[in-house]
Structure 1
Amino acid sequence: MARRDKVQVPIGSPSVFRVASLCGVAGAQYRSAPRPRTPLRARAFRSTERAGLGNGRPGAMIEAARLTEETAGMSETNAIGPVVRALNILRALNHQPQSSLQSLHQATGLPKSTIHRLLATLKSEGYVRADVVKGTYTLTEKVLCLSEGFSEPELVVEVGAPIVLKSTRATGLPLALGTLDRGHIVVRYSSMPYSPIGSEHTTVGHVHGLVHSGMGQAYLAYCGQAERDRLLQWMQASLPEPGLWPAVEQDIQHQLAITRRRGYGLRKGQGRGSSTTLAVPLAHGERVLGVLSLTTFGALLTPERLRECVEQLDRTRQEICAAVGARLAQG
């Protein structure tokens, strides 16, 4: 049998496949020259034109550029595209009582086919209601469940944390924010790591009682009477010996009266090197939404220094309450 010589053909040659077939080479694998990648922005423009967003209009090209930047940003922030688009649809639906496919397309810049699929998903999950006759879509009451976990006390922490940090960086005082949770005050944010006179690294997660802690006194002394009565009933029910309650309640009322006269809650440290806490309520209207506190070594709080700390606490409290009120006014 005649021996066939192998033919060396440069990879990527235009005639590589034709030469290979003529030489009878079987089972060979060939690699073509790599195709240059189209820039991301150009690919986005092409995709938007195919989706009907381009049409040669400047506004559509700007929208396409915006979508391109969002797409590029998603890869950097690990955002999930379908989730982002669904949230955009929910935001657009929230801006008007009824929305059509066209109005959602104009508001979000998404292709109508994508909007239709997202609306179908949201409808199947109970968040969107469709009127087939009118061709409109509205949000259902189920969307309220998405915000129930974010309450006014949560807003205090979100709005107050940057203000607390700013105050600590300006004064060096270690501050903390606390909210009521099942009959106790829980520290939700602390600027202690940024303070040179903090008594420990952080107090986030610390749980304080309502009577013998500075934060608890500030809350219980200034909350509404109805809320105070409920909290006192909870304390009474938690006593191991109900017969002790009259004496305990008398002591509590005495502590609260002292707190109101003083103007802030106070827990004094016991012993050398122990910490002391001052606390003031964060209120909106007649409701106490949280507590602002300052905790440091008790030996540092001379009468003059104590007065300065109380004044700084009050200034920070006013700033937080004003910011919370502004956010609540926005709805």
Structure 2
Amino acid sequence: MAAETSLEKGLAILEAMNHQGPMRLRDIHARTGYSKPTIVRILQVLESRGYVTRLERNAGYCLSSRVLALSDGYNTVSRLVEAAAPPLDAFTERALWPAAMAVLDYDHMVVRYSTISRSPLSHKHSTMSRRLSMLHRAHGRAYLAFCPEEERERLFARLDKAGRDFVEPYIELYRRQGWAERDPATEPQTNSIAVPVLCRTGRVAATVGITFFRSALGEDAKARMAEDLKVTAQDMLERLRAMPPAASSSERSEREGREELPGPQDIA
């Protein structure tokens, strides 16, 4: 059997990134089995041609919007990461605290981008791909509070009744103030707040949030951070609107049994 060509290896790396989203060098190595020098060489070519974006501070690589010229493999999560990275990076440059963007995956929120590597105040090494509770975490609560009522009912149906009874009383508060907060009993030394990235149609494309030491921010400072997060979410939304149209994710979502992520028709 003939050895794989550089083109075949490049396509395999693109396929791996299309399947998983943003990846670090070690993740690509684990998935493809290629040597790290080979991966670096191929990524450099893809980056120079505009098909891959290198995320700052060793956060990895993600597909760029140019892959739309090749196929529909540039999926919704990749679009969200590309739109989220610059405003979240800028937020952490200003505020120093680590920020993250999360998207819905059935009955959890999943972190798809994080600025932990850029923050001098991070208390964790990484949260990439971490699954977050809809009931106890700020990202999940923000999604529940701001998604359309019909979708909220579907999500509550996936959770037990005790969970619904636990979080439902907070929904109106979060909607009124424009942001959600983590359950104080969850990792009590730190706290998180999150805001929605709201589409034109009222759907939630993603949530963006920050984590900080609970003793570091009083109520007024926390509210100011939330207002800054709202501006960051709007910046992300404007970047999404400026991107070229992408194929709908509905067929893939139906096949995987997941809630369809908002598409360009929701955002435009």
**TM-score under structure 2 length normalisation:** 0.61
Query: Alignment RMSD, CA only?
Result: 3.0
Residues 191 and 202, structure 1, Cα contact 8 Å, conserved in 2 = no
Select the residue among 140, 143, 147 that pairs with 2:72. 147
Distance in 1 of aligned mates of 2:188 and 2:129? 22
Distance in 1 of aligned mates of 2:150 and 2:231? 28
Residues 81 and 112, structure 2, Cα contact 8 Å, conserved in 1 = yes
1:298 equivalent in alignment to 2:201: no
Distance in 2 of aligned mates of 1:183 and 1:168? 28
Evaluate the alpha carbon distance shift between residue 251 and residue 147 of structure 1 in structure 2; reply closer, same or farther with a 3 A threshold: same
Structure 2 equivalent of residue 192 of structure 1: 116
**What letter is aligned with 2:220?**
E
Structure 1 equivalent of residue 196 of structure 2: 281
Residues 116 and 126, structure 2, Cα contact 8 Å, conserved in 1 = yes
Higher RCO (C-alpha 8 Å, min separation 6): 2
The within-5 A match list for 1:3-42 is: none
Structure 2 equivalent of residue 316 of structure 1: 232
Identity %: 26
1:217 equivalent in alignment to 2:131: no
Residues 190 and 212, structure 2, Cα contact 8 Å, conserved in 1 = yes
Structure 2 equivalent of residue 181 of structure 1: 105
Residues 192 and 209, structure 2, Cα contact 8 Å, conserved in 1 = yes
Q: SS at 2:243's partner residue?
A: helix
Distance in 2 of aligned mates of 1:316 and 1:329? 22
Distance in 1 of aligned mates of 2:81 and 2:165? 33
Shift of 1:293: 0.6
Q: SS at 1:294's partner residue?
A: strand
Show structure 2 runs of 5+ residues with no match.
Answer: 1-40, 52-65, 247-263
Evaluate the alpha carbon distance shift between residue 304 and residue 149 of structure 1 in structure 2; reply closer, same or farther with a 3 A threshold: same
Structure 2 equivalent of residue 65 of structure 1: none
Shift of 1:248: 4.4
Evaluate the alpha carbon distance shift between residue 233 and residue 158 of structure 1 in structure 2; reply closer, same or farther with a 3 A threshold: same
Structure 2 equivalent of residue 226 of structure 1: 150
Structure 2 equivalent of residue 307 of structure 1: 223
Residues 211 and 255, structure 1, Cα contact 8 Å, conserved in 2 = no
Structure showing greater Rg: 1
Residues 185 and 207, structure 1, Cα contact 8 Å, conserved in 2 = yes
Distance in 2 of aligned mates of 1:271 and 1:181? 21
Structure 2 equivalent of residue 252 of structure 1: 167
Distance in 2 of aligned mates of 1:198 and 1:224? 33
- CA deviation vs aligned residue, 1:124-162 (integer Å, no higher than 9, x gap): xxxxxxxxxxxxxxxxxxx9xx426612x4322221112
1:267 equivalent in alignment to 2:191: no
Distance in 2 of aligned mates of 1:75 and 1:328? 25
Residues 268 and 298, structure 1, Cα contact 8 Å, conserved in 2 = no
Shift of 1:193: 1.8
Shift of 1:312: 1.5
Structure 1: 4+ residue segments shifted above 6 A: none
